[in-house]
Structure 1
Amino acid sequence: MPSTSSSGTSTGSASLNAQGALSLAPMGITGVDPLDPTGLIKRNVLLADLEVKIPMWGPGPVPLDSPHILDLILIQGAAVIHTESKTVTAPPPPFPTEHVLTIDSLIMQSLSGPVQLYYVVTDSFGGRSELEPKRTLTIDQNNPELVDPAQHLEFVVPPSPAVDETYLLNNDPVAFHLLPYTGRSDGDKIHLYLSNAANPPVAGPDYIYELVLSGDPLIVYLPADKFRGLINGAAFIFYRIFDRAGNFSVRSAGLPFQLALIPLPGPRPLPEIYPPERYSDALINREDARAGIYVRINGYTDWAPGDQVRVYWKDRPAPLQDVLGFPTDVPIDWSVLRGPLTDPLAPETVPVRYEIIRGSLPPFPSFAIPVDVNLTIAGQDHANAPALLNQDLPLAQVWGLVSNTKNVVNHDDNPAGARARVLLYQDPQPGQIVRFYWNGIGPVASYTVQPGDVEGQLVFSTVIPWAVMEGFIHPALPVYYTTSNGVNDQQADNTFVTVNTGTLIQFPAPVLNHTLVGGAGYLSCCSKPEVFFGVHWHVTADPLFELNDVIRFFWEGYDNNNWSPPVIVESMFAENGAFNNSADLANGLNFVVAPYEDKVVPMKDFGTAKAWYQVRRGGALIGESLPRRIRVDLNYSSGGYCKAGDVVSCSNTGVATRVSSE
C-alpha cells in the first residue's frame, strides 16, 4: 500500500509502527485544563458544543487506498453515550494539523458526574488504533447550597462597638466564621460583598476567598482595606459560594455591623509649582533650581494627622514629607530635578504628581501636571551644579588695547579700552554667548560662538570700554565671564587684573556755551547760539593747570535718553588743546563739536550726549574732568529736524517750529 509524507506526497510502500498500529497523540478539549486529572468542565463551557481537537496521526491514508475512519467516543461507565465520526481521505488536499469534532451541548448538559472520552482510528486494513489512556471528564451542574438561607457570616473577633481604625489595625485580615453548606468540594470560592444597604442590588464581589481543600476550617478572611469602600455607619457583609465548575449558591443574609473609620483622603488637587514666579515663564531652568523649587499641595478633604506626601518628578521620588497642614510645600532637590548624571540633558516636559501616604494603606495618587524643564548649559557641567559658579571653565585673560600686557590695564588704554580672551569650553554651539564682567559689573563685553568654533579655540571679546575700566587703582581686580545658551548661564572663576586707571586730579566739567530748553534741559533748535555750526564748549581756567598741559576733549552721543551704551557718536578734539601761554591759563580753552550733521544730528530724537576732557602733562595722564551730560532734541513739532539756514520760531516753552528754510 502506498504511503504519504506530512505534505501529502507519495513516498512508496506503507510504513506501520512495530505493533502494526497508528501513532496517536493526546487530544485537546477547549475550555478544559489539560493538567486537571478530573477534567472538570465548567458551567459556562457546557453552554456551547464541546470542541475536541485531535492531532493528525501517522501514517495517514495514501492514494489508491481506502480512507481512515476517525471515531470520537463518549462513555459513562461501560455505556457508550455518543459517537462522532469523520472520514479522512488521502491527499490532496494535504492533511490538516488537527481534526476538530464537537459534541452537542445538550448531550453534555444531560450528563452528570465523571465520563470518559477517547478516539479510535480505523485504517484501510480495518485495523483499529485506540487512544489510551482515555480522558476523564467531570460534569458538575449541582449548585452548592446554604443549609439555611437566613445564615450569615460571624466575626471571629467581634468588633466592640464598631469596626474602627484600631480594630482593623489589630485584625488584618478580618476573619469570619462560615457555616457548613451542602455540596462542599475542593477549590470552593467564597465571594464576599460589602454594602451599606441591607438588601443591595446584584454586584460583583468585593473580595474572593478560596477554600483550597474540602477539609479546611470554615474560616474566610477579608483584607482590612476592603472596609474603606463603605460609608461610616450601618453596614453589612454578604457572601455566595462558587464551586470550581462555576455553580453558585444564593446570596446569604447580611451580617450587620457598625463602621467608624477615619475617612480616606478625598479628591487630590493638581500639584502646583511654588512659588508661582518660578514658573511664570512656563519653564524651569537652573536659575529656578538655585532659587529653590517646591511642589505645593493645596489640600484635600479628610486630612488626618500622620499623613505624608511623596512627590514624583518624572517618576523620580522626592523625600517623604509629613503633611502638617495646608498648603504643604515639598522641596525638589537638584538630584531629583536633574536625575542620574548619566542621563543626557535636553529640553523636556516632565510629569509631576504626588501621593498621599496614610499608614500601611495603598498610596492615594494625584493626577500629574506637565512641567517644561530645560537644564542644558553652554559648556561642561560641574560637581557643584546647579551653582552658577563653575570652576571647571577655563579662566579668561584681559589685555589692554594699548598697554598690550596680560591682565594689566592702565591709562595708556584710555580711551581705546581692552579686550578679554578665553579658550572655548566643551562642545560650543553657534549662537551661544560668552559675556564678560568687570569687577562684578556687566556684561561689559561679549563673544558669540560662531559656526566652526571648537573646544580649546582662543576667542576674543568685543571691546571693554574705557568708561567701564576708569577710576580703579587695584592690584587684583576680579574679571569673570558667563556662558549662556539662551536658557541657562554658567559663571567662570575670577581672573585678577592689575588696574591703574584712577584719576589723579579731578577737574571741573566743561561748560556748554549754549542755552538749554525745557525743564529737562535739552540742546534744541531753540538753543542760543544756534547749534547748526557745531556745539561750543569751554574749559574754564583752573589753578591746577600748568603751561604746556595738553587738553584732550571727548564727546559721546547715545540714541537713548539716559546716556546708556552703546555709543553712536564719539570724537576727540586735540587741536589748539594746549595751554600755550599765560592767556590760555587765565582764560581757559574753547572746543567745538562739529560737523553738526555728523556729530550732533544722530542724537536728534531725544538722545543724550556727554562731554569731558583729559589733562596730560609731559605725555602722562594727570587728570580728567567730570562729565557734562546733556539731552538733545532737534525735532520740529511738525516733523523733521532743524538745519543750518532754517528760520526757527520758538514758543515760550521751547517748542520749535520751522518758519522757512533756504
Structure 2
Amino acid sequence: MPEAKSAATGFPSRNEETPKALKEPHVPDALPLLADESAYVIPRSAQSQDLRVEVVELWGGSGTLDPGEITTVEFYWDDEAKPVDTRTVMAPYGSEIIPFFGFIPALKLGVSGPHQVRYVVELVSGNPTELSHPISVNIDKEGPNQAQPWVKLKFPAEVERDGVTDAYLAVNGDRVVATVEHWSDIRLEDVVEAYWERLPFRDLDPVASVEIEQMHKDGAPVELIFEGEDIRRNGNGEFTAYYHLIDRAGNTGLRSDRALVRVNLTASPITLPAPRVPQADDGLVDLEDARSPGGVYMLIDRVLDLEDGDVISPFWNMIPLPVIVFDASLTWPQRVAIDWSILSAGGFEVTPGTVLARYTWRRGIGTARPSDPRFVPVDLTVAGPVNPGNPDPINNRLEQVTIKGVTGDNIITGADAGRPVRAVVPLYADPRPGQELELMWAAHPTPVDTHTVQTGEREGDEVEFFIPWAIVEPVGNAVVQAYYWTFNGVNRQRAPDTPINVNVIPIIGLARPEFPDVTYDGGPSSGFINCSHLPWLGVRVRIPGDPVRLAMGDKIELSWVGHAGATNNAPVIPETVEVFPHTLTAEEALNGYIFVVPFDPYVKLPGLIKPAEGSDSPRNGCAVVGYRLIKAQGGVGKSGERLLPISLIRVNQPPCLGED
C-alpha cells in the first residue's frame, strides 16, 4: 500500500479542494451487513469471478481540470503495495461517470477470511489524494460449525419411543417438530435444511427448513417442522432424519448425524397422477370440444390407499370444481365437467392460453396435497365478433347472407337458371388476413363457395359468393337455408340462417277460381254479377280445395283487375287493380277458401259501365280474376283466369249501389 503523497509543485490550489479521505468504495455483489457481522459477506456465487468495486461519490477537484488532463483511479486489496486495478478518465468529466468501477481479480478471492478494499485518486499526474476509507469484505468459504457435521436431530420422546403414529399427528397439529442444538458459530440467516430419507439411503429434496433469526441467537430453540403430509407421502417404515447447515454465503456444511424414526400410519396415497383431459389429446381444447356432447371434462384416475371421507378437490385454471368425497361406491375414473363459464374464464375467447388442471387430496384436518399438474392449451377465439351465446355455433352478431336472385332478394326462380347465383354479406369487424368465410347451402355437405380475407379488407366491405346452378337446380321448389361459417384456422362459428324461396319448377294444374254467387242457368243474368246478387255486400270468389297442391301455410294471392268493357281487351280501370292475400289453414287447403271482394271500387266501377248514347257497346264492364299460389315450402304456381261480367245498370232506374 503506498503512502499518501504531498501535492506536486505547481498544483497548490487544485489539491486544496480534494478531500484527504474519500468515501469508501461499494461492492455490488456483497450481501447486506447484518447485526452479527463485521464485514460484508461475498457469496460463493461471486467468488469465482472478478469482483466489481465501485466509486459511488465523485472526488473533488474535477471541475478545475483542463480539457485533456487525465485522472487515474487505483484500486488496492489489503495492504498490498501495488494496485490490483488501475482506471483512467479524461477531463472534462462530472458525476455522469459515477459509479466509476474497477475489479478485484478472482485470484485474490481464493483466500478466505476478511479483506479490505480501498482506492486512490490521482487527479492529475503526481497529485494523488489520501487513501479512501476502506470497506471490509469477508470471503466466506467455510460452512457453519467450522464445516464440521453437527449432532443429530432431537425428536419428541413419544416419537423416539413409538414412532410417528396417527394418534400423535392428530393431537400435534398434523406435524412433528424436531430441534437442532445450537452450534458454536451460529449466525443470522444461517439455514438448516432437513431431510426425511427412507432406508436404504437415497438422495432426496429437503422437506423442512428454518432460517436463523436473532431470537435463535438469543437462545430460542432451532425447530424443524416435518409436516404430516410429507411424512404420509413417503409411506410407512424406518426413516432417517438429518440436516445440513448452510450459511448466507452459500456454504453447505456436512450432513449431521442421522436420527432413526419409525413411521406407522394408516396407508395414504403416495402418488397423485395428473388428471386427464381427453379433448386435449389432439394438443388443444377448442370450441369444437366445448360443443361436443358432454362438453369438456377431466378424468381423475384411481387413487390408491384412499379412506372413506377423504376429499378430492378438482381445480381448473385455479377455479375450484365440485369436490369428490370418497367412499367404497365411487367408480373410476371420476369425470369432472368443465362448464362453459369456467372453460371461458380467463379471456380465452379473446386470446389463447394454457390452463393448469389438477386436484388435491386431503384426509381429515390434514393439509391438502396437490396432484401432478396437467397443462392444457385452450383456444376459443373466432373470426368475427365473440358470440355472447357461446358455445352455441350460431352467432346472432354476424350479419345474415343475402341471396341476390334476379326477381328479388332471397328468391330464386327460373329467371336465374343457367348461371351461378350471387350471394353477399358485409364483412365482420376486425377481419384478419387468412381468415375464411364458408358459404353453406341447403343440405349440401360442404361449402359451396369460400372467401379468404385479404390484406386491406375492412369491416363492412361486401363479401361475394357464387352458388353453382348445378347445386341450386336439384332443390326444385322448396324453402332452404343458407348461412356461412367463419374460420380463423382453429375455430368456426356461423351466421343465422337466411330462408331462401327456391321456385324453379312451376306448379301446374291449379283449378281456376269460382264465383259462388253467379248462376249459369241460361237466364238473362246467367254468368253475370248484377243487382240481383246484392253486389254492394261484396262479391265472393272461391279458391277450390286441392289436397295435392295446397297445404297449410301456403299463401294465396287473389288477383282482381276491373275493365271498362265486356272483355279483358277493354281498358283497365286502375282503381280496381288489387291483390288480396290469404294464408291457408289445413281445412281451407282441403275444402277451399272464399275471398269477399269489396264492392267499392272493385265491383262498383266496372259495374257502372254502359253503352254511350246512341251505341250498344260496351254493354257492361267486367273483372278478370285469377290467383297465385306461393308454397310455404317453396314453389309458385298460377291458376287460369276467369272473366266475370258485372253490371249495376237498371232499366229506367238508377244503378243499384245498395242505397235504396
**TM-score computed with the length of structure 2 as normaliser:** 0.51
Determine which of 284, 290, 302 is the counterpart of 2:304.
Answer: 302
What is aligned with 1:221? Answer: 224
Does structure 1 conserve the Cα–Cα contact (< 8 Å) formed by 2:357 and 2:376?
no
Determine which of 496, 503, 520 is the counterpart of 1:492.
Answer: 496
Note the C-alpha offset of 1:236. 2.8
What is aligned with 2:80? Answer: 84
Does structure 2 conserve the Cα–Cα contact (< 8 Å) formed by 1:393 and 1:492?
yes
How many angstroms apart in 2 are the aligned matches of 1:191 and 1:151? Answer: 13
Change (3 A) 1:29 1:169: farther
Does structure 2 conserve the Cα–Cα contact (< 8 Å) formed by 1:28 and 1:34?
no
What is aligned with 1:162? Answer: 164
How many angstroms apart in 2 are the aligned matches of 1:381 and 1:47? Answer: 57
Partner SS state of residue 129, structure 1 = coil
Note the C-alpha offset of 1:85. 0.8
What is aligned with 2:177? Answer: 175
Change (3 A) 1:102 1:455: closer
Count of residue pairs brought into register by the alignment: 463
Does structure 2 conserve the Cα–Cα contact (< 8 Å) formed by 1:51 and 1:103?
no
Q: One-letter code of the match for 1:38?
A: S
Change (3 A) 1:157 1:72: farther
Determine which of 24, 45, 61 is the counterpart of 1:26.
Answer: 24
What is aligned with 2:39? Answer: 39
Note the C-alpha offset of 1:233. 1.7
Partner SS state of residue 311, structure 2 = coil
Note the C-alpha offset of 1:296. 4.2
Note the C-alpha offset of 1:220. 0.3
What is aligned with 2:548? Answer: none
Note the C-alpha offset of 1:387. 1.8
What is aligned with 1:595? Answer: none
How many angstroms apart in 1 are the aligned matches of 2:300 and 2:499? Answer: 47
> Per residue, is there more strand in 1 or in 2?
1
Note the C-alpha offset of 1:33. 3.4
What is aligned with 1:212? Answer: 213
Does structure 2 conserve the Cα–Cα contact (< 8 Å) formed by 1:144 and 1:183?
yes
Change (3 A) 1:126 1:459: closer
Does structure 1 conserve the Cα–Cα contact (< 8 Å) formed by 2:239 and 2:262?
yes
Note the C-alpha offset of 1:492. 1.8
Task: For structure 2, list consecutive stretches of 5 or more residues without a partner in the other structure.
Answer: 1-7, 92-99, 512-636, 643-660
Q: Which structure ranks higher in relative contact order (CA pairs < 8 Å, sequence separation ≥ 6)? A: 2
Partner SS state of residue 278, structure 2 = strand
Deviations, residues 349-400 of structure 1 (Å, cap 9, x unaligned): x7566312224445323454668x68635x6553213324333444566788
Q: Does 1:328 align with 2:330?
A: no
Deviations, residues 276-332 of structure 1 (Å, cap 9, x unaligned): 9xx7xx9866454323433443625536441233345xxx86846638542233434
What is aligned with 2:550? Answer: none
How many angstroms apart in 1 are the aligned matches of 2:473 and 2:43? Answer: 97
How many angstroms apart in 1 are the aligned matches of 2:24 and 2:132? Answer: 7
Determine which of 432, 441, 452 is the counterpart of 2:437.
Answer: 432
How many angstroms apart in 2 are the aligned matches of 1:342 and 1:148? Answer: 54
For residues 84-483 of structure 1, what are the structure 2 equivalents within 5 Å? 84-86=80-82, 97-98=101-102, 100=104, 117=116, 129-132=130-133, 135=136, 144=145, 152-155=153-156, 158=159, 162-164=164-166, 167=169, 171=173, 174-179=176-181, 181-184=183-186, 186-197=188-199, 200=201, 205-213=206-214, 214-224=217-227, 225-228=229-232, 230-241=234-245, 246=251, 248=253, 251-260=256-265, 262-264=267-269, 266=271, 268=273, 271-273=276-278, 286-292=287-293, 293-297=295-299, 299-302=301-304, 304=306, 305-312=310-317, 319=321, 322=324, 325-335=331-341, 344=350, 354-359=357-362, 360-361=367-368, 363-368=370-375, 376-377=382-383, 380-395=385-400, 404=407, 423-426=425-428, 432-437=437-442, 448-449=450-451, 455=461, 461-463=467-469, 468-470=475-477, 479-483=480-484
Note the C-alpha offset of 1:27. 3.4
How many angstroms apart in 2 are the aligned matches of 1:120 and 1:419? Answer: 89
Change (3 A) 1:154 1:46: same
Partner SS state of residue 130, structure 2 = strand
What is aligned with 1:533? Answer: none
Identity in percent = 14
> Per residue, is there more helix in 1 or in 2?
2
Note the C-alpha offset of 1:194. 1.6
Deviations, residues 453-509 of structure 1 (Å, cap 9, x unaligned): 964568775558566344x7xxxxx64322034773524245486989767589xxx
Does structure 1 conserve the Cα–Cα contact (< 8 Å) formed by 2:196 and 2:207?
yes
How many angstroms apart in 2 are the aligned matches of 1:139 and 1:458? Answer: 77
Q: One-letter code of the match for 1:294?
A: V
Partner SS state of residue 273, structure 2 = coil
For residues 573-612 of structure 1, what are the structure 2 equivalents within 5 Å? none
How many angstroms apart in 2 are the aligned matches of 1:396 and 1:90? Answer: 79
Q: One-letter code of the match for 2:337?
A: P
